[in-house]
């Protein structure tokens, strides 16, 4: 019994360390990483995206893009999200987004991919975006 308890304790500690490492990566990577539910509402936003939206996690989770972008941008983002969530596509695109909070337009290279259960059904979308505004304005 003691050996089983010790093994379980080690497994729990390893899991906690693994979760911490994943959290460190998501919070410190130089890209905007987010998860959205089947309706296109945010489930997670990493530090960089929270800074862009100038909002803590609790003011992002549960909201869709209409809170953060103009109507045309939000509609375009939702259309792309639904292609992933309903059609199972992985999308790579270059997008220009007008941030309602800052009034600035930025260009992003974005990858959206479906997250699936073991049975293949889609349960969420993962998005990873990189700001390429400077590359586009400098002609690089």
Read off the pTM. Answer: 0.79
* Residue-by-residue DSSP string for 16-46: HHHHHHHHHHHHHSSSEEEEE-TTS-EEEE-
pLDDT tens figures, 50-86 = 998 999 999 999 999 999 988 988 999 999 999 999 9
- Can you give the residue ranges of every domain in the chain? 31-138
Q: Nearest-CA neighbor of 90 among 100, 80, 99?
A: 80
> In CATH, what number does 31-138 get?
3.30.450.20
Is it the case that residue 20 has pLDDT exceeding 60? Answer: yes
pLDDT digits (tens, 9 = 90+) for 81-108: 999 999 999 999 988 877 666 777 888 8
The answer on pLDDT for 118 being more than 90 is: yes
Distance, CA of 96 to chain centre: 17
């Amino acid at each position: 019994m003691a050996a089983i308890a010790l093994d379980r304790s080690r497994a729990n500690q390893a899991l906690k360390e693994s979760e911490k490492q994943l959290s460190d990566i998501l919070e410190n990577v130089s890209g905007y990483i987010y998860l959205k539910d089947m309706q296109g509402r945010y489930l997670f936003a990493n530090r960089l995206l929270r800074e862009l939206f100038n909002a803590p996690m609790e003011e992002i989770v549960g909201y869709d893009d209409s809170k953060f972008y103009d109507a045309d941008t939000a509609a375009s983002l939702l259309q792309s999200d639904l292609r992933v969530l309903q059609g199972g596509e992985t999308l790579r695109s270059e997008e220009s987004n007008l941030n309602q909070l800052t009034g600035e337009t930025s260009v992003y290279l974005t990858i959206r991919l479906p997250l699936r259960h073991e049975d293949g059904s889609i349960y969420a979308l993962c998005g990873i975006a990189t700001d390429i505004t400077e590359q586009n304005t400098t002609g690089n």
